[in-house]
Amino acid sequence: MSYTERRSIFGLLYTIGFVIGFYQFMVTQGLNQFSLQDWGIWYLIFFGSLVIGRVVFTVVHVVIEAIVIAIKTNDEARVNAEIQDDERTKMIDLKSTVHIGTFLIIGFVGGLLILAFGGSIQNFFLAMYVGVALAGISYDGLAIFYHRMRG
């Protein structure tokens, strides 16, 4: 399994764990009693912590991978060659990002449909939350798929 496949798998596990953990935290804070201002604050915290957490997670993963490769090979050039992204990896990242917008729009339109048929504002924001979660999961899931298919 290549470094980029491992990175995508760990990214997928991080995203799923973060989304589930954050949802559980919101439920313990009284999800059904949130006002619009509360939803705005929670979304800012969610997006900010997801992005910052993902950056920190990626840095830690790269460091750990470099240490493991260095221990196995004792060759600094091999470490740099293994971790550096090539054109194939960049193309896979581009292919994976295509569907992020699709899932974001599905979450937003799904939330609008909920509102149009008399649903609550909480359900609108939960539909958007699901759209964001699916966007993050689809990015890493498609990256794993393309790496496996040698795309």
Q: What is the value of pTM for the model shown?
A: 0.79
CB atoms within 10 A of CB 31: 16
3 has a pLDDT exceeding 80: no
44 has a pLDDT exceeding 70: yes
Query: Taking residues 71-85, what's their average pLDDT?
Result: 73
pLDDT of residue 105: 94
Contact partners, residue 20, CB within 8 Å, separation at least 6: none
- Looking at every residue in the chain, the average pLDDT score rounds to 86
43 has a pLDDT exceeding 90: no
Which conformational region is residue 84 in: left (phi greater than 0), alpha (psi within -120 to 50 degrees), or beta?
beta
Query: Taking residues 15-38, what's their average pLDDT?
Result: 87
Amino acid at residue number 42: W
Out of 1-5, 13-17, 116-120, pick the least confident. 1-5
Structure tokens at 54: 């993902």
Pick from 133, 146, 137, 120: which is nearest to 12 by CA? 137
Pick from 102, 96, 122: which is nearest to 12 by CA? 96
Say how far apart CA 52 and CA 43 lie, in whole Å.
14
pLDDT of residue 151: 52
Nearest-10 crossing angle of helices 121-148, 3-28: 170
Assess contact for 91 and 78: CB atoms under 8 A.
Answer: no
- Residue that wins the pLDDT comparison between 54 and 69: 54
Residue 32, H or E segment: none
